[in-house]
Amino acid sequence: MPAANILTEEEDLRPYECDGLSVYRRLPLAVVLPETIEQVQHVMRNCSQMGVPVVARGAGTGLSGGALPLADGVLLGLSKFNKILSVDSANRVARV
């Protein structure tokens, strides 16, 4: 994964400290911005092996606090996955 897709500096982490619910703020340990499924798998595998929690985040517009980062965890930014590949209306699933 390109080094530019791994954020660890405080000023780079600030935009990810909350989602649309801005009352609660916390900086993650790191933000990772994968561009491929293989990169997502690599991040998840490594974090699992090291016992590092991961929070997945889309566009960060949620209002329920579901994508709030953990101070000792990695925020997995999935905003680059923005092309709809398929839609299963019956099961209410979109593959991006």
Q: Per-residue pLDDT for 64 more than 80?
A: no
Q: How many domains does the chain have?
A: 1
Of the pLDDT bands very low, low, confident and very high (cuts 50, 70, 90), residue 10 is very high
Q: Which of 29, 19, 24, 31 is nearest to 66 (CA)?
A: 19
CA 53/CA 74 separation, integer angstroms: 6
The answer to whether residues 68 and 74 touch, using CB atoms and an 8 Å cutoff, is: no
Q: CATH number of the domain that 61 lies in? A: 3.30.43.10
What is the per-residue pLDDT for 96? 82
Q: How do residues 67-87 score in pLDDT, each as one tens digit?
A: 888 899 999 999 998 889 999
Q: Per-residue pLDDT for 49 more than 90?
A: yes
Average pLDDT, the chain: 92
CA 56/CA 35 separation, integer angstroms: 14
pTM: 0.84
Top-confidence residue, 20 or 57: 57
Question: What does R_g of the chain's alpha carbons equal in angstroms?
Answer: 14
Residues spanned by the domain of 64: 3-95
Q: Per-residue pLDDT for 27 more than 90?
A: yes
Q: Which residues of 3-39 are buried (b: 16+ CB within 10 A; e: fewer)?
A: eeeebeeeeebeebbbbebeeeeebbebbbbbeeeeb
